[in-house]
Chains A and B, each alone.
Chain A
Amino acid sequence: MGKVDYQLILQKQKTGIRAYGLLCLVFLIIIGAYGYFKWLDYNIFEQAVATNEADVVTLKKDSLNEKNEYLSNKTQADELENELNDNLKDVFPANDNYTELTRAFDAFEEQTHTAKSPFVISNIEYQEIQTSEDGNYKYLPVRMTIASSQENFNKFLQYVEQSGSLLGKTRLMDIQSIHLSFGEDESGESGVKVTNSNSELINFSVKIHAYFQNI
């Protein structure tokens, strides 16, 4: 019986050695494989961090340069903005500003009208303020009745067509409709010789939209 136990214990020892040996081997392989692949990942992360850190240094410089460049331009940009806003007060004001518009028509009339080449605004009629369909702006409809020479009629058309430019500082306008009829010349002939003489009188009524911002 004792011999059996002894041998059994010996056998157990051998089995234990084999089992522990096998377990150690398996664990070693698992840990090795796990550690190896994780180390590869870890190494990639380490490299990524190193790359990122280098990028951060570069980006800090770039960001500083960009910021400085912007700040150097900002003064100029602010001046441009102020210039734009000043011009917009005339060209595209924040409200209908119809009194200023009336003065502008008067100024044009005074500048254009001569005895030989008349330009007389006989009537100005402001209508209800309207808002554009997209809501981006508003406009003030104006009806005017004018007696003018052919030359000044063309000047008036150009005046309206060039309006809205920051260069001319003329209120942005658009002719919606024109009805013009030709008066009699000095010889009493009815009808028009459109470009023949400055003395030919054109009576026209015009409907204009004068635009302003929708704030």
Chain B
Amino acid sequence: MSFLEKIKEKLPFTVGQDTTTSAEVGVLSAHQIAYDAKSGAKESSIKIEKSVESKPESSVEKSADKPGDSTGVKGFFGNILSKLSFKNEKIEPVKDSLTSAVIESAIGTQENPKEESILEAPPEVDESLLEEMEPPKSILLFILKGSFIFLLAAGLGVFLFFTSQLSNYFDFATTAIGVPSVLNELTDTNKDIKDLQTEINFNRYLQGKFYLDQFSIDGDKYSRNFYIYSNKTMSEEEKSNAKEQMDLLRENLKKSFSAASAKLGKNLGRTLIDLEVADQADVEVLFTKLLKDKLDTKLKELKDGTTEEETRDYKLYRQVRKLIENSNLMGLLKSTDFDKLSDNELQTLITQVNDFTENELSAIQKIKDVRINWSDIINQIKLETSYVDQYFSEGYFKEIGGIQYTSYDFDSASGKIIITGITKRLDTTNFTMISNLIDQLNESPYFKNVEMKSFTKTGSAKDGYTATLRLNLELQEDTLSDADKSIDVNSVPEFLTPQKGPEVNK
């Protein structure tokens, strides 16, 4: 039932119905009005609808003509008019018909200017009629409610979508429907990058280790030739051959060192779009850990290996693992300008590389590093002695005297040397010669704490004077090592001008 129909239903008269019904309604309405008047209501309102006014006159007339109904009709309109006249007695009641009553009313109205309108006050609708009426539904409100629900649903959808895409809360659902979230996609691709980069790092380090081994092996050969080249007790021919070999080996060493530097000198990390990684330093740490983990896994697998290959691989991975985060080695690889290295510096580089790496050769190198070349020491003693006795060990001791050693005691553990011998002079300056020898040895970078506290001399002017010699001295191992590294073998003269000693006529 529409709103309009409800209104119609509530109205005291019927709109758009036949005359019989209207008449009946009119009777009811008249009774109602009469009731209102009787009940003392001062005013009663009748809302006259246009539809009522436009009722066909014929139907009204027809109703009025009906016997028995005229009284009703007249009474009805009479009541209306009496109501509308508001007790004005000059308004005559309706006589024969509605038309004539209206005309008379109009005339009457014209005759009495005070009563120009028959509808003095607007009729009022009985409010009770609206008690059960509702205003029309608001379409706007309906639309707004619908929009609100839509927005609510859309908001929920947006929230669910972004939460499922940008977090892991709905992984169970996204996984179930086979549509991974963008976050998971990122995680997966990050994992792929980590795995691939770690694989690259792994192979790079294995190759780096190979080049370092190659460098160590060539370095070992170089070191041996360098020893020959720099040892003063070697012949010139041996030195020359050694130098040729060193030059050849230098090229190989350069290749393997550069290759090792290229493989090991690079950063392990790679730019990674990962929420867990804040900056590049963390990336480096992360990839370093991944490489270590990979090597640890390999080591675990091979730990109980029995085959030769498994044992070899186990050793290889163990040694490679020690290369990771070897800052000393990395610094050396990055900072060394190989082309500018002298022979001595190259020898030092070989030693350093072996010290910073771990393999069998590095263990050998560590032993060699502390090994004392006694031939050099003996040669140095002879050299220093020749400063004091220019004819030392040239076969003139019996004729002109000088210094003659009878025994050496060398001890590597304590670094102490004991030299015993005799000095012979035709004059009486044996003690001066010994003192000069002590000073000379003390000035040498090879020795320290040279001392001889007891001086004894025997002899005569005819046969010359003889004094016993017992020197206690210590090796300056650090200085010795440094001096060895920095020494230029070609700069050491073959013959040193004697500082002191008697003149000899052969």
Contacts and interface: CB of A to CB of B under 8 A. Distances in A.
A10 interface: yes
Given A80-B214, A154-B375, A166-B217, A73 B207 contact: yes
Contacts of B214: 80
A48 B165 CA distance: 14
B422 A76 contact: no
A119 interface: no
B363 A137 contact: yes
Contacts of B129: 2
A81 B207 contact: no
Interface of B, helix, strand, loop or mixed by DSSP: helix
Interface string B430-467: 00000000000000000000000000000000000000
Contacts of B228: 162
B144 A21 contact: yes
Contacts of B44: none
Nearest to A139: B367
A207 B422 CA distance: 26
A105 interface: no
A9 B95 CA distance: 48
A107 B332 CA distance: 41
Nearest to B165: A42
Nearest to A37: B162
Contacts of A96: none
A104 interface: no
Nearest to B398: A189
Given A31-B154, A92-B364, A49 B140 contact: no
Interface string B408-431: 111111000000011000000000
A16 B474 CA distance: 106
Contacts, number: 249
Given A27-B152, A92-B363, A165-B223, A193 B408 contact: no
B199 interface: yes
A6 B133 contact: yes
B374 A70 contact: no
B305 interface: no
A114 interface: no
A84 B221 CA distance: 12
A10 B130 CA distance: 14
Interface stretch (B190-198, B288-296, B342-350, B496-504): B190-198
Given A167-B220, A195-B393, A66 B374 contact: no
Nearest to A161: B373
B406 A162 contact: no
B52 interface: no
Contacts of B29: none
A23 interface: yes
Interface in B326-369: 360-361, 363-364, 366-368
Interface string B198-209: 011001101100
Interface in A49-86: 49, 51-53, 55-56, 59-60, 62-63, 66-67, 69-70, 73-74, 76-78, 80-81, 83-84
Contact of B200 (A6, A52, A62): A62
Q: How large is the interface on B (under 10, 10 to 19, 20 to 34, 35 or more residues)?
A: 35 or more
Interface in B130-166: 130-135, 138, 140-141, 144-145, 147-148, 151-152, 154-155, 158-159, 162, 165-166
A9 B134 contact: yes
A67 B270 CA distance: 18
Interface residues of A, number: 86
Given A60-B196, A193-B394, A2 B360 contact: no
Given A77-B210, A80-B214, A161-B375, 17 more contacts: A2-B130, A16-B145, A24-B151, A31-B155, A42-B166, A52-B190, A55-B189, A60-B196, A62-B196, A84-B360, A136-B363, A157-B375, A167-B224, A182-B406, A191-B421, A197-B395, A211-B364
Interface of A: 1-3, 5-6, 9-10, 13, 16-17, 20-21, 23-24, 27-28, 30-31, 34-35, 38-39, 41-42, 45-46, 48-49, 51-53, 55-56, 59-60, 62-63, 66-67, 69-70, 73-74, 76-78, 80-81, 83-84, 88, 91-92, 136-137, 154, 157-158, 161-162, 164-168, 172, 174-182, 189-197, 211, 213
Interface of B: 127-135, 138, 140-141, 144-145, 147-148, 151-152, 154-155, 158-159, 162, 165-166, 182-183, 185-186, 189-190, 192-193, 196-197, 199-200, 203-204, 206-207, 210, 213-214, 217, 220-221, 223-224, 227-228, 231, 233-234, 270, 273, 312, 316, 360-361, 363-364, 366-368, 370-375, 378, 382, 393-395, 397-398, 404-413, 421-422
Per CB-CB distance, the 10 closest pairs between chain A and chain B, nearest first, are A52-B189, A2-B130, A20-B144, A2-B131, A59-B196, A38-B162, A157-B375, A165-B224, A48-B273, A77-B210
